[in-house]
Structure 1
């Protein structure tokens, strides 16, 4: 049974890691970031319920 030749695996893995690192750096360098990020103010939204605008009459139970 022939032996598996693993002598080039180190070179292959190192070149793959270097290539992925270079591609990642190129993608990150092309991304535009805003120079001064400003937080956007969040507004609280009020829930509009139907009983907020109209008057409702509450009846007492019959005794």
Structure 2
């Protein structure tokens, strides 16, 4: 049975780690990149009317 050649494993693992580190850094740089000179726009929150805000409802206390 032939013996498994493990002489290139160290090079393969090191190059894989470097490549993953590079792509991870590239992804993080593009993810957290933002325009420094941009102005924040004020957000307008819409008022949602619920059914109980449209009419007056009477609350009854439990009988004692």
- TM-score, normalization by structure 2: 0.53
Q: Is there any run of 5+ residues in structure 2 with no aligned partner, and where?
A: 37-51
Q: Closer, same or farther in 2 for the Cα pair 1:8/1:56, shift >3 Å?
A: same
How many equivalent residue pairs? 44
1:7 maps to what in 2? 7
What is the alpha-carbon distance in structure 1 between the residues aligned to residue 21 and residue 58 of structure 2? 64
**Which of these two proteins has the greater Rg computed from alpha carbons?**
1
Q: Which residues of structure 1 form unaligned runs of 5+?
A: 36-47
TM-score by length of 1: 0.54
Bigger helix share: 2
Q: Tell me the residue number matched to 1:19.
A: 19
After TM superposition, the runs of 4+ consecutive aligned structure 1 residues lying more than 6 A away are none
Q: How many Å separate the matches in 1 of 2:61 and 2:27? A: 65
